[in-house]
Structure 1
Amino acid sequence: MQTQTSLIPLPQADRLQSLRQRVDERLVALLPAPESAQDNVALALHQGTLAPGKRLRPLLLLAALADLGCQTDLALDPACALEMVHAASLFLDDLPCMDNASLRRGQPTIHVRFGEDVAVLASVALLSHAYGVMAMAPDLTPAQRNAAVAILARAVGCQGLVRGQYRDLRGEDQSRQLDGVITTNQLKTGSLFTAAMELAALLAEVDAVQARHLDGFASELGLAFQLLDDIADGLTPQQTGKDCHQDRAKATVVSLLGPQAAQQQLAAHHTAAQAHLDAIDLGQGELAELVQRLLG
C-alpha cells in the first residue's frame, strides 16, 4: 500500500467538494493555453473540458484512493487525464454524425460554438494530451505510468468507448435484447468507471480480492449511471443541461422494461455496487458517499 493520507476529518460531502475543486484547479494548469484569441482548437479544448460538470470519473479515482488509505495527490494528474478523455468523448458524441446534440452541460456543444472541424481536432488534441499527462504523472513509478497509459488506452479503444459508441449508433438491431443493451451501456459508460477503479487498484497496490470487487463496483455503477441517464432523457433540457428525447429511436433499458422496472433495476445496481464496497470494508467511505449522492 502507498503512504497513509492525512486528510482533515471533514464531513464526506465537504471532502468530495474539496477533491472536485482540486481537480478543476489542476485541469486549468494542465490544459495547453490558447496562443491567441483565434486559437479555436485550444479555446474549444478549454471550454469543453472546464464546463461545469460532475467530474465523476476523477472523483471516483480520488475517492477510491482516499478510502484505501492513500494520498490522493498521487493520482491528481491521472484523475485529470480521465476527465480529459471523458470531455474529448463528449465532443465526438455530440457531433451531427453521432448523437447530433446541441446542448451539453447547459451550454451549446463544441461543434455548435466552434464548428465540426474544430470539435474533431479538439477531441483528438485532448485525447493525445490526456495520454501525455498520464505518461508524465509525477510520483508514479515508470512501471505505474506504463500500466496507467495502457489502462487508459484500453478504456478508449475498440474494446471500450469506441466500441460502445459504435454499438449505440449502429447496433440497434442486435441490441434489441436486454443483454445487448447492457453490453453497450457497459462499454460506452462503464469503461471509464472501470478505468478509474483499475487505476486506484494499481496505485494503491491492492490484492486480487480488492481489485475484483473494485471492478465489480465500477461495472454496477456504470450500468446504474447509464440507466439514470436514460431515465433523465424524458426530462427537459432545463432540468438536465443537455438535449433530451435523444433515445426515441434507440433500445434502452427504459424502453425495453418500462419506467417502473427500470427504476427497480437502478436500485438493484445501486445495491450491488454497495455490496462490492461492503465486501472490502469500504462501505462507509467516500466512494459510498459519492454513489449515494449520485443515485440517491
Structure 2
Amino acid sequence: MNETALDLFLTEQITEIERRLPLHLNSIKAPRVLKDAMNYSLQAGGKRLRPALLLATLKGYGVSLERGYDTACAVEMIHTYSLIHDDLPPMDNDDMRRGKPTNHNVFGEAMAILAGDALLTYSFEVISNSRHLTDVDKAMLVLLLSKSAGPSGMVGGQVADMEGENRSLSIEELEYIHDHKTGELLSFSIEAGSLIAGAGKEDQAMLRAFARDLGLAFQIKDDILDIEGDNEKIGKPLGSDKENEKSTYPKLLGLAGAKDKLDWHINRAKAYLYKTEKDHFLLHELTDYIAKRTY
C-alpha cells in the first residue's frame, strides 16, 4: 500500500462521515434555527481527522467500519462544539473558521452557545442509540468520551490555555495545555477504535501512548503553521497566537527547535504504534500526514 491508498481511505471515509452527520441531525426534534446553526458548523469542512483516526484503528484490526461510524460522528460533533465556543468573543474572538464566517457571526452569540451545547449533549445520545455497539461498549465509550471532553480533559486544557495568555509558560505547562485541549479528543478517537475492536490491554496501552505523542505533534504543527502556513488553506488569519500573546513551541524553542520537537514526537509515536499487534499502515500514514500537513 502507498500514499494513494491513504488518500483513497480518507476520501471514502470523509465522504461517509459527511453523509451521516446531517442524517443524525435530521432525526432531532428541535427548533429549525438550532438545527441550522448546528449543521452550519458541522458542514463547514475540515480534515475529519478524529473520525479518520478511529476508523483507521478499526481497519487495522480488521473490524467492520460500520461498528465505528456512530462514535466517529459523535466525536466530530464534540470537536465542532469546541470550535464554535473557542471562536466566541470571550474566548479567541475569531471571525473566520475554515474560510467561512464563524457561527456567532451568522447566528448570533446566544445561538452559537446553544448550538455548541446541543452538539455536545447530542453526541452522547448518538453513541447510546447506536445499533452497532454492545451495551458494555456504549457505557465504556460514553465514560471515556465524557472524561476526554470534560474538566479533566479538553475543557480543562482550554482553561489552562486562557490562563496562560499574556505570560511566558514553561514547556511542561505548554504540554499540559496541548495534551488536554487538543490531545484528549485525538486520543479518544484512537482509544475508542481499539475498544470497539476488542484490542488487548497491552495494545490499548501502547495506542494510548501513541495517541498522546500524536496529539502533541498535531499541536506543534499547528503552532508552526500559525507562522508559516497559507492563509487561504488554513481558512483564517495567521499570527493569532502572537496577537493573543500565547506561548507556543516556536516562541519557546524557536522555529527550528519546534520542528525538531515535532519530529521527536512523531518518531516516538511510531515506536509505540509498532509495538501493537495490528496492521500499522493507516495509522503510520496518518502520523506522517499530521506531520506534513499544510493546513
TM-score, with structure 1 as normaliser: 0.91
Q: Describe the shift of the 1:201–1:174 C-alpha distance in structure 2 as closer, same or farther (beyond 3 A).
A: farther
Match of 1:240 among 234, 239, 243: 234
Listed one character per residue, the Cα deviations across residues 62-87 of structure 1 (whole Å, up to 9, x for unaligned) are: 00000111111101000000000000
Cα separation, 2, equivalents of 1:155 and 1:12 = 27
Counterpart residue type for residue 253 of structure 1? Y
Work out the CA distance in 2 between the residues paired with 1:73 and 1:156: 24
Distance 1:294 1:14 in 2: 17
Aligned in 2, Cα 1:175/1:220: closer, same or farther, shift over 3 Å? farther
Residue 260 of structure 2 is matched in structure 1 by 264
Note if contact 1:63-1:286 (Cα within 8 Å) is conserved in structure 2: yes
Counterpart residue number, 2:124: 131
Instruction: Return the match for 2:23 from 29, 39, 49.
Output: 29
Which of these residues, 7, 11, 16, is aligned with residue 10 of structure 2?
Answer: 16
Query: C-alpha separation between the residues in 2 aligned to 1:107 and 1:35?
Result: 27
Query: One-letter code of the match for 1:51?
Result: A
Q: CA deviation at 1:114?
A: 1.1
* Closer, same or farther: CA 253–43 of 1 in aligned 2, 3 Å: same
Find the partner of 2:213 among 215, 220, 227.
Answer: 220
Deviations 1:80-117 (A, max 9, x none): 00000000000000001001111111111101111111
Structure 1: gaps of 5 or more residues = 1-9
Q: CA deviation at 1:17?
A: 1.6
Percent identical pairs in the alignment equals 35
Partner residue in 2 for 1:97: 90
In the TM superposition, residue 183 of structure 1 has moved relative to its aligned partner by 0.7
Q: CA deviation at 1:12?
A: 3.1
Q: Specify the code of the residue in structure 1 equivalent to 2:220.
A: L
Aligned counterparts, 1:51-70, within 5 A: 51-70=44-63
> Within 2, Cα distance between the matches of 1:75 and 1:283?
17
Contact 1:34–1:43 (8 Å) recurs in 2 = no
Q: CA RMSD in A?
A: 1.9
1:162 matched to 2:155? yes
Distance 1:34 1:70, change over 3 A: closer
In structure 2, how many angstroms separate the alpha carbons of the residues matched to 1:175 and 1:26?
A: 43
Gap change, CA 1:136 and 1:163, over 3 Å in 2:
same
**Matched residue of 1:221: which SS?**
helix
Instruction: Find 1:254's aligned residue among 250, 254, 270.
Output: 250
Q: Does 1:80 align with 2:73?
A: yes
Tell me which amino acid in the other structure corresponds to 1:276.
Y
Answer with 131-140 or 257-266: which moved more: 131-140
CA–CA distance in structure 2, aligned partners of residues 215 and 117 of structure 1: 37
Structure 2 distance, partners of 1:55, 1:255, is 28
Post-superposition shift, 1:25?
A: 0.9
Aligned runs of 1:102-117 on 2, under 5 Å? 102-117=95-110
C-alpha distance after superposition, 1:229-252 (max 9, x if no partner): 111112353231123211110111
2:38/2:119 contact within 8 Å kept: yes
Contact 1:16 1:63 in 2 (8 A): no
Alpha-carbon displacement from aligned partner over 1:159-179 (angstroms, at most 9, x marks no partner): 111101111011347861110
1:274–1:283 CA contact under 8 A, matched in 2 = no
Distance in 1 (alpha carbons) for counterparts of 2:169 and 2:111: 34
Select the structure that is richer in helix: 2
The offset of 1:255, in angstroms, is 0.6
